[in-house]
Chain A
């Protein structure tokens, strides 16, 4: 078997099929990156998977999952002030969390250099919005390099690292979902591990690192000057490229994944437009854009999300008094969604109706196929929690969601967690919903990783300002949704076992008086505790615990002699009340044509969380011990 860890440390030049996220890690190694930090979030967690494939003692850099993106940014920044080349990576909306620190970075003389790797998500494949993080780059004077493929992820990271080191500043490497996750064969250079100097180089002479009042201006001048240098440098170092099809009429300016889509789509064009592909997308390189405008009658700007490049191109044309026709976003739909080949085809058709051949009519679909929304896994403790909460609440009560697998509670049949914003937001929103509200109870949900990430301020506020709401803290021991990363209460960090920070202890320390705790599988107790907590005239917390069963089952399956257990339905006892399939709604339950309910043996893990939900005790767990405890 080929192992990723061995591949990533290969000394000779080699080629391998890799994901963009994996190619990035090889680039980190070759560039001499010393400190890497992150908080997990799609589309970036596989970067950490690749890092983890290298055994700790052989890993040429330090890595940690920090408590949140802001802390991760601060740790990477601090390390870079000691002279270490550092990198931080997180998902698109992670930059919102990190922003307070992030926007200051370009003002600082970061002697080691620092690369901020962003996983933006046009198409909102796994995020709550499609935010275009180039806006943050403009706000903070931070250059942005944007690759379009795994091969470019590799070369562009090395370029970003070089610029960051040379200019002693932050550089953004902006990835998007299908660049992170694309796989292709990448040719890697050789790598020779070199000894590092671990001397802490921090020196105020390299600063000052205090940015207050008039101290801001020289720092801002330096940041702006750096942008100018980098813009010129990007032209020299070949970050931009042109696809010359000898078309002096039509040209396209593009970048990132849309470039690859354009290349696919124009293959069918009788008269292929020329293409200018930008690698540095902020600051935009004025000279190549001006040359491209001068040499084409009509230019289309193809960029995902917002019209940032378009405005730049138009202002260059205005300043130079160029008469080139420039087409950008034609309507608001052009700002929405990922620029896949299908989308780019439509966009080009709209711009130049005759450039591309018409597509044949798509076959008409005759049958309606039921949708398949994501859902909680068999045995998920969150299901048990939602099932119990629903039983104790009135229809009119208000449930507030937070980020995590438990966000899926909003789906039928639970419909639990009707408002969702961002990490840790449930408590604050719930507090607001409780003001002047004496008739509708407010329950807020929160996961354990989120609790540490951004949950604490909302809780402190609820205690301090005396908000009468109930939090259900869904403790499953891991950061489940992003692939089971450890957090502060897991008992280990990325590198070693550590003492778990007890959630209950933290709540007590924050002054929460009413704390209840049970395994979510114990329905009777959970319901009792919920009723009690809802009756408290103050902020109360019910810790609803159960390990993530996806993680647990995977670990069990790796054990020798593992035997898969399944529950069963006694068809003689079943009165077809459908509580299991329609209300508890574990995906294991299957409805046959004759109306009977059966277990899907592919899905059932024999956890038995469903047993106590059957009013006629028809669900049984043959051979599984310990179910008595769960019958509550």
Chain B
């Protein structure tokens, strides 16, 4: 397989770490050579949290060069746009969970909220495939990441990884009720 770069982004507290770890382990389960790196520390307090995942035969750092991601996965709308602007290739894929955690300047009335239309226009202009995810009935917001994961699986957005690889990774990382709920969500959506 050629190199494949995934840039994940969201706001601290949204569960970027878990979805990143699932993708990382799913890639490994699929027999792919893979590396990743997450943001830790201060930024996790309500700031932007980012994770890089790289797959391919000859990869060295887990850090993706600017504008060289094949897939951007975002858990929040502002971060979807920021992520695609900085990281995504023209012609790549953006998948984002359509929720808004307003940045400080929006709340302070110094800036406008980013709308869905702005993102769609940008995607059109740059020939980017846009997938918007929303699951209003989720019983726990911490499952938004798995809702996105399910669509990544359903639309086969990552070459070489199949549903079984994702499920095995989820079983490695979760147990009990949490695993059960997330599996139900994943299986319901990804089928």
B-binding residues in A (CB < 8 A): 1-2, 17, 42-43, 45-46, 125-126, 178, 181-185, 257, 259-261, 263-264, 267, 340-342, 345, 362-363, 365-377, 405, 408, 411-413, 481-482, 550, 578, 581-582, 585, 587, 589-591, 593, 600-603
Q: Is the Cβ of B46 less than 8 Å from the Cβ of A375?
A: yes
Q: Which residues of B contact A590 (CB under 8 A)?
A: 100, 102, 107
Q: Is the Cβ of A370 less than 8 Å from the Cβ of B103?
A: yes
Given contacts A17-B28, A405-B45, A591-B107, contact A341 B61 (CB under 8 A): yes
In the assembled complex, B2 has its CB within 8 A of some CB on chain A: no
In the assembled complex, B1 has its CB within 8 A of some CB on chain A: no
- Told that A340-B65, A363-B125, A369-B114 touch, could you supply 12 new A-B pairs with CB distance under 8 A? A17-B24, A45-B40, A178-B63, A183-B36, A185-B34, A340-B61, A366-B122, A369-B81, A370-B105, A374-B44, A481-B41, A590-B100
Q: What separation, in Å, do the CA atoms of A556 and B12 have in the docked complex?
A: 19
Q: Which residues of A contact B78 (CB under 8 A)?
A: 369-370, 372
Q: What separation, in Å, do the CA atoms of A341 and B141 have in the docked complex?
A: 35
Q: What separation, in Å, do the CA atoms of A367 and B119 have in the docked complex?
A: 9
Taking a contact as CB atoms closer than 8 A, the residue among A261, A482, A582 that contacts B41 in the complex is: A482
Taking a contact as CB atoms closer than 8 A, the residue among B47, B62, B85, B114 that contacts A375 in the complex is: B47
Closest to A121 in B: B41
Q: Is the Cβ of B111 less than 8 Å from the Cβ of A374?
A: no
Contact flags (1/0) for B77-101 with A, using CB distance below 8 Å? 0110110010000100000000111
B118 to chain A, nearest CB (A): 5
Closest to A480 in B: B45
Q: What separation, in Å, do the CA atoms of A183 and B61 have in the docked complex?
A: 10
Q: What separation, in Å, do the CA atoms of A369 and B81 have in the docked complex?
A: 8
Q: Is the Cβ of B102 less than 8 Å from the Cβ of A367?
A: no
Q: What separation, in Å, do the CA atoms of A76 and B101 have in the docked complex?
A: 44
Q: Is the Cβ of A42 less than 8 Å from the Cβ of B37?
A: no
Q: What separation, in Å, do the CA atoms of A593 and B109 have in the docked complex?
A: 11
Q: Which residues of B contact A259 (CB under 8 A)?
A: 60
Q: Is the Cβ of B41 less than 8 Å from the Cβ of A377?
A: no
In the assembled complex, B129 has its CB within 8 A of some CB on chain A: no
In the assembled complex, B184 has its CB within 8 A of some CB on chain A: no
Q: What separation, in Å, do the CA atoms of A408 and B12 have in the docked complex?
A: 15
Q: What separation, in Å, do the CA atoms of A370 and B77 have in the docked complex?
A: 12
The contact sample of 10 A-B pairs, CB cut-off 8 A, is A1-B172, A42-B42, A182-B36, A365-B85, A370-B104, A372-B79, A377-B13, A481-B42, A578-B109, A603-B101
Given contacts A181-B37, A370-B106, contact A2 B172 (CB under 8 A): yes
Q: Is the Cβ of B172 less than 8 Å from the Cβ of A369?
A: no
Q: Is the Cβ of A178 less than 8 Å from the Cβ of B37?
A: yes
Q: Is the Cβ of A372 less than 8 Å from the Cβ of B107?
A: no
Q: Is the Cβ of B171 less than 8 Å from the Cβ of A1?
A: yes
Q: Which residues of B contact A368 (CB under 8 A)?
A: 111
Q: What separation, in Å, do the CA atoms of A371 and B82 have in the docked complex?
A: 9
For the complex of A and B, list the 8 residue pairs with the smallest distance between their C-beta atoms, beginning with the closest.
Answer: A42-B41, A374-B47, A126-B41, A370-B111, A1-B175, A370-B105, A263-B60, A260-B60
Q: Which residues of B contact A408 (CB under 8 A)?
A: 45
Given contacts A126-B40, A181-B38, contact A374 B60 (CB under 8 A): no
Closest to B61 in A: A260
Q: Is the Cβ of A587 less than 8 Å from the Cβ of B101?
A: yes
In the assembled complex, B149 has its CB within 8 A of some CB on chain A: no
Q: Which residues of A contact B122 (CB under 8 A)?
A: 366-367
In the assembled complex, B59 has its CB within 8 A of some CB on chain A: yes
Q: What separation, in Å, do the CA atoms of A413 and B38 have in the docked complex?
A: 29
Q: What separation, in Å, do the CA atoms of A302 and B62 have in the docked complex?
A: 19
B88 to chain A, nearest CB (A): 9
Q: What separation, in Å, do the CA atoms of A291 and B13 have in the docked complex?
A: 51
In the assembled complex, B179 has its CB within 8 A of some CB on chain A: yes
Q: What separation, in Å, do the CA atoms of A2 and B22 have in the docked complex?
A: 12
Taking a contact as CB atoms closer than 8 A, the residue among A184, A363, A373 that contacts B47 in the complex is: A373
Q: Is the Cβ of B81 less than 8 Å from the Cβ of A367?
A: yes
Taking a contact as CB atoms closer than 8 A, the residue among B40, B60, B65, B171 that contacts A181 in the complex is: B40
Q: Which residues of B contact A46 (CB under 8 A)?
A: 40
Q: What separation, in Å, do the CA atoms of A592 and B73 have in the docked complex?
A: 25
A-binding residues in B (CB < 8 A): 11-13, 24-25, 28, 33-48, 58-67, 78-79, 81-82, 85, 90, 99-111, 113-114, 118, 122, 125-126, 141, 171-175, 179
Q: Is the Cβ of B107 less than 8 Å from the Cβ of A369?
A: no
Q: What separation, in Å, do the CA atoms of A508 and B92 have in the docked complex?
A: 63
B115 to chain A, nearest CB (A): 9
A20 to chain B, nearest CB (A): 9
Q: What separation, in Å, do the CA atoms of A357 and B60 have in the docked complex?
A: 19
Q: Is the Cβ of B109 less than 8 Å from the Cβ of A370?
A: no
Q: Which residues of B contact A185 (CB under 8 A)?
A: 28, 33-34
Given contacts A370-B105, A372-B78, contact A587 B46 (CB under 8 A): yes
A279 to chain B, nearest CB (A): 16
B46 to chain A, nearest CB (A): 4
Taking a contact as CB atoms closer than 8 A, the residue among B25, B46, B67 that contacts A17 in the complex is: B25
Taking a contact as CB atoms closer than 8 A, the residue among B45, B63, B67, B79 that contacts A376 in the complex is: B45
A619 to chain B, nearest CB (A): 15
Among A1, A368, A413, A601, residue most surrounded by chain B Cβ atoms (within 10 Å): A1
Closest to A366 in B: B122
Q: Is the Cβ of B118 less than 8 Å from the Cβ of A342?
A: no
Given contacts A184-B62, A263-B60, A602-B101, contact A367 B118 (CB under 8 A): yes
Q: Is the Cβ of B37 less than 8 Å from the Cβ of A264?
A: no
B36 to chain A, nearest CB (A): 5
Q: Is the Cβ of A587 less than 8 Å from the Cβ of B107?
A: yes
Q: Which residues of B contact A593 (CB under 8 A)?
A: 113
Q: Is the Cβ of A183 less than 8 Å from the Cβ of B63?
A: no
Q: Which residues of B contact A601 (CB under 8 A)?
A: 141
Q: What separation, in Å, do the CA atoms of A303 and B67 have in the docked complex?
A: 24
Q: What separation, in Å, do the CA atoms of A589 and B107 have in the docked complex?
A: 7
Q: Which residues of B contact A373 (CB under 8 A)?
A: 47, 104
Q: Is the Cβ of A374 less than 8 Å from the Cβ of B42?
A: yes
Taking a contact as CB atoms closer than 8 A, the residue among B59, B102, B105 that contacts A600 in the complex is: B102
A406 to chain B, nearest CB (A): 11
Q: What separation, in Å, do the CA atoms of A341 and B34 have in the docked complex?
A: 17
Q: Which residues of A contact B99 (CB under 8 A)?
A: 602
Taking a contact as CB atoms closer than 8 A, the residue among A42, A263, A363, A591 that contacts B106 in the complex is: A591
Among B12, B40, B42, B43, residue most surrounded by chain A Cβ atoms (within 10 Å): B40
Q: Is the Cβ of B45 less than 8 Å from the Cβ of A372?
A: no
Q: Is the Cβ of B179 less than 8 Å from the Cβ of A413?
A: no
Given contacts A126-B43, A369-B81, A603-B101, contact A363 B141 (CB under 8 A): no
Given contacts A1-B173, A587-B107, A590-B100, contact A126 B42 (CB under 8 A): yes
Q: Which residues of A contact B102 (CB under 8 A)?
A: 587, 590-591, 600
A551 to chain B, nearest CB (A): 12
